[in-house]
Amino acid sequence: MNIDGRGGHDGRQAVWAVVDTGIGPLLLVATAQGLVNVVFHATDEVRDQALGRLASRLGTEPVEAPGSPLLAESIRQVAAYFAGERRDFDLPLDWSLSSGFNREVLRALESGVRYGAVVGYGDLAGRVGQPGAAQAVGVAMGSNPLPVVVPCHRVVESDGGIGGFGGGLETKRKLLALEGVLPEPLF
């Protein structure tokens, strides 16, 4: 397999890089279709496990290529977001790791809940025509392959609770504080 990741049985390529952010290292993985996966807390162990799962799902072994053109814009926009210089991501996204209801909910979230805003699980369910599906929306958030870029951290409980988060509640609080929804932690 060469450096740009070619080699899957279908010719699909995947490249990855780990970037340091205000919430710790993030693993970014891209294909020719766009950013396909973002993984929190990308220590060596977490990264290796995530890449192993991705290899089987994508049909190709992702290759480390932080200088790849497939990743350049994602890396730039993620850095600008965490520096407080960017509020919206404008990236091609590869939705192949999500399908059905989950994909529908994630796309509605990505296009309809802007920086500095939050939405309740039930409200988001209503936006996709399933007003009784708040729990299913929670499952969709937990399956989000593109956290931060597809902002599942902006989905909260209707009673004012912060709700759950795959990256951990401290990470969710930091992201909401970055966006001005919550105050910055004192310590």
Query: 155: which strand partners?
Result: 119
The answer to whether 31 and 12 have CB atoms below 8 angstroms apart is yes
Does 27 qualify as catalytic in the annotation?
no
- In the set 15, 30, 54, 152, the catalytic residue is 152
The answer to whether 69 and 35 have CB atoms below 8 angstroms apart is no
Task: In whole angstroms, give the CA distance from residue 94 to residue 91.
Answer: 10
User: Hey, which residues are catalytic here?
Assistant: 152
